[in-house]
Structure 1
Amino acid sequence: MIKPQQQQINGFSKLDKAQRRAWLTEQFLDPSARLILKQFDLPDDSIQQVFDGFSENTITNFPLPYGVAPNFVINGKTYAVPMVTEESSVVAAASAAAKYWMTRGGFHAEVIAAEKLGQVHFRWSGRPARRAALLDELCTRVRAQTKDLTQRMEARGGGVRGVTWKHLPEVADDCYQLLIKFGTADSMGANFINTVLEAYGAELQTWAAESGSLTEEERDLEVIMAILSNHTPNCVVRAWVSCPISEMALPKNGVDPHEFARRFRYAVEIARQDTYRAVTHNKGIMNGVDAVVIATGNDFRAVEAAAHAFAAQDGTYRSLSRCRVEHDRFTFELTLPLALGTVGGLTKLHPLAKLSLDALGQPSAEELMGVVAAAGLAQNFAAVRSLVTTGIQQGHMRMHLQNILTSFHASEEERGATAAHFAGKTISYAGVRGFLGR
């Protein structure tokens, strides 16, 4: 039934959850939808209140599967890696890759840099050449005036690491930017960075009005915005696996190790050079990365944006991973920007995010970067291994079979019979439907 167009509703956020549900079902849904919405509420009201506070206009929860990929050995330490994803085969593929590399030296990870960035954009009437002479005075002033905001972070090893004054003539002749480098210790640091940036912006305008170093012509200054950047090219982790090619046998596939290594390297090189392939290749990496980022209460959207900007840093979108076959040794590696936190935000508020960090041994932010990068590399290895041997659909559709059966409301007996029928065969939606006689 198509319902008539409704008038604008005011004060929707002030309604309680039951009232929001009632309005939504009355205006846009069948009345029976109210029962569907209600059944996803948590039975514990205190936890449900925490969830409701994460977002606005909440009407229910949207559950996703929470799984674990065991057998990850990273820098000699064994992990059971928590993963939240709805995509068939992601956790299975990561687990299979982790088990494969567990007996071949495991994964290795190192944090190359852990610096985050923020920007204050402003209009200024001065000449670009004057920036160098004024920067020291400006930095001294803004740092002194924001010391109360940064001292706790500094005590934990973070704080402001540097300030660059940039001219952006491509925007306008009077457009400038303060690019500020931050260390945020074990927190992701978004709120800290934005608070400091806004304070810098306010002090920048005060400086323009009061500084004796400025001429009257240089006092026209207008702050446009102050915000962190999710582009984090200086917050980067590298993860890799490596072993002699002779140890890379794939018994189930009967593929010669040297032939497998050759085809694998060739496939990765295609993703380095062809954007169409690179996007899908990197999506596979992010299948693993996002699943762990979500499970630990971090911002997967920021991680995604940073990763794809990093993949295009030389002007062409490329694979984030690389493969080398040299001197009869196979090396597969991933370099990835990752701005993560293990304190603050949802890491303690979300019960399962806290549990995830407990399962990982309460890692530092840098250790978590290594775990997430290893999960992304494992997922990528599993996907490329399938592509160059059996093909991606065999394993993916085997995992997807249960979803297809659910869509047909198959009984347990039908599920068993269908799985047996399609063992070793190509699985398709149409094929399953035909077998079930739906």
Structure 2
Amino acid sequence: MNNAIAGFSKLSKEEKINWIAAEYFTNPTNAIATIKQYWNSDENLQKLHDDFIENTITNFYLPLGIAPNFLVNGTYYSVPMVIEESSVVAAASKSAKYWSTRGGFKATVLNSEKIGQVHFMYRGNVQKLEKFFAATKTKFFTATEDITKNMQKRGGGILDIELRNKTNAIENYFQLHATFETKDSMGANFINSCLEQFAKTLKAEAQNNIEFTEDEKDLQVVMSILSNYVPNCIVRAEVSCPVEELAEKKIENPLEFAQKFVQAVNIAEIEPYRAVTHNKGIMNGVDAVVLATGNDFRAVEAGVHAYASRTGTYSSLSHAKIENGIFTFWMEIPLALGTVGGLTSLHPLVKMALQILGKPSAHELMQIVAVTGLAQNFAALRSLTTTGIQEGHMKMHINNILNQFETSDEERKMIKKHFENNIISHASVVEFIENLRK
């Protein structure tokens, strides 16, 4: 068991499945049946999914839910969310409805620059390199014209290229640091293609520079790659209202609630242990929409958490204040998103999600995603500072427990009735089920 295999990628899909089933399962027949149970009955659609990645054996499903009633900049949205965690969609929906009667969410894209770098080693006179770059800079733009012409037609392209001296960190290390505008595409392939051409131009021009010594001509390109840290691709989302308007059934004293809420955010601003969980709650909302719209949630996560650490200490992404009787809750986060290219034009449910959102531009999607993250954060903080986080979460989570124990409809009714007025925990639900079945 658990043997290595040569040439796995060259096996057919059926052969891959048969090998996995025989190698890792005591009942290969059941394993194969489970794998094939998640195949799509439409062969063309299944082939489309198979081609998204390599060595595909089946589909791994995640629920697609809808959080309605998001009022963003005066427009209502029903927000598609892909996530496996119970209570997230419910919390987002509850926040959306709550703020829809208090002016809704305001969102603004502050900037949309994306970044790519050519990392290279140069052993020589720094002043000569700086002079060389100044003389060569226009050639980087010229050499990439075939790559950038379509992007330029859409209003995007290369914004600027800088030479950065990083020798204080690593000996002989320099960068071409380039900024880009990619409009409605996420732009990874576009940026990387430009960077690889920059690298070729850099090496060729260095070889032809008569002022360089032979050692200086022989600069070494280490790599050319976009950055998922985009501190100048920022969207701001916020909500605000007079403190007294915060009142609702569970907020009988709105001023006390607002003050406690601000304190909770202040704690996340200075305490990294709290900030990580605080920001994870924000990303529950952000990632769910990023996934639903076919964007790269790993890139978003990496960039967002780097941004949360930009001061040298990991801190809250969101902030809150009470000023002149007005409660304000806001967040600024980096989001490099696209609404064209990649899965947006291939995955049927991604296309549907974008249709539900009204076929947004990349800027509009940035706003929707940020707002969903802020709504999620508000819901979590409201629970934490009032009833506690577990009450609502466990009410949603109970369905997972009931499914795990394959409860009947009659059992479900009895269990849910019992826990209307009793504390829900995994242990208490399991104990009740066991007693019910005795």
Aligned residue for 1:389? 386
Once the two structures are superposed, what CA deviation does each residue of 1:167-224 show, in whole Å capped at 9, x if it has no partner?
2224432111111101101000001111111111111111111134534442121111
For the pair 1:10 / 2:6, whether they are aligned, the reply is yes
Deviation of 1:424 (Å): 3.1
Unaligned 5+ segments in structure 1 are: none
Aligned residue for 1:294? 291
Aligned residue for 1:206? 204
- SS of equivalent residue, structure 1 residue 113: coil
Once residues 57 and 254 of structure 1 are traced to their aligned partners in structure 2, the CA distance between those partners, rounded to angstroms, is 52
Aligned partner (choices 267, 270, 274) of residue 271 of structure 2: 274
Deviation of 1:256 (Å): 0.5
Aligned residue for 2:85? 87
Q: How does 1:262-411 map to 2 (within 5 A)?
A: 262-411=259-408
Deviation of 1:139 (Å): 1.4
Aligned partner (choices 15, 20, 37) of residue 16 of structure 2: 20
- SS of equivalent residue, structure 1 residue 9: coil
**Contact persistence 2:2–2:24 (CA under 8 A):** no
- SS of equivalent residue, structure 1 residue 293: helix
Deviation of 1:126 (Å): 2.6
Deviation of 1:414 (Å): 0.7
Once residues 215 and 428 of structure 2 are traced to their aligned partners in structure 1, the CA distance between those partners, rounded to angstroms, is 76
Q: How does 1:22-421 map to 2 (within 5 A)?
A: 22-29=18-25, 30-31=27-28, 32-251=30-249, 253-421=250-418
> TM-score under structure 1 normalisation?
0.97
Once residues 262 and 67 of structure 2 are traced to their aligned partners in structure 1, the CA distance between those partners, rounded to angstroms, is 25
Once residues 186 and 162 of structure 1 are traced to their aligned partners in structure 2, the CA distance between those partners, rounded to angstroms, is 19
> Structure 1 residues 301-310 or 169-178, which shifts more?
169-178
Aligned partner (choices 410, 432, 436) of residue 433 of structure 2: 436
Once residues 230 and 217 of structure 2 are traced to their aligned partners in structure 1, the CA distance between those partners, rounded to angstroms, is 32
Once residues 241 and 424 of structure 1 are traced to their aligned partners in structure 2, the CA distance between those partners, rounded to angstroms, is 34
Counterpart code for 1:431: S
- SS of equivalent residue, structure 2 residue 417: helix
Deviation of 1:131 (Å): 3.7
Once the two structures are superposed, what CA deviation does each residue of 1:274-331 show, in whole Å capped at 9, x if it has no partner?
0000000000000000000000000000000000000000000000000011111100
Once residues 333 and 215 of structure 1 are traced to their aligned partners in structure 2, the CA distance between those partners, rounded to angstroms, is 54
Once residues 62 and 53 of structure 1 are traced to their aligned partners in structure 2, the CA distance between those partners, rounded to angstroms, is 14
**Contact persistence 2:128–2:212 (CA under 8 A):** no
Once residues 171 and 366 of structure 1 are traced to their aligned partners in structure 2, the CA distance between those partners, rounded to angstroms, is 35
Once residues 212 and 111 of structure 1 are traced to their aligned partners in structure 2, the CA distance between those partners, rounded to angstroms, is 46
Aligned length: 433
RMSD: 1.1
**Contact persistence 2:105–2:237 (CA under 8 A):** yes
Once residues 128 and 386 of structure 1 are traced to their aligned partners in structure 2, the CA distance between those partners, rounded to angstroms, is 57
Aligned-pair identity in percent equals 53
Once residues 177 and 251 of structure 2 are traced to their aligned partners in structure 1, the CA distance between those partners, rounded to angstroms, is 54
> TM-score under structure 2 normalisation?
0.97
Once residues 246 and 422 of structure 2 are traced to their aligned partners in structure 1, the CA distance between those partners, rounded to angstroms, is 26
Deviation of 1:268 (Å): 0.5
Once residues 329 and 35 of structure 2 are traced to their aligned partners in structure 1, the CA distance between those partners, rounded to angstroms, is 45
Once residues 411 and 282 of structure 2 are traced to their aligned partners in structure 1, the CA distance between those partners, rounded to angstroms, is 35
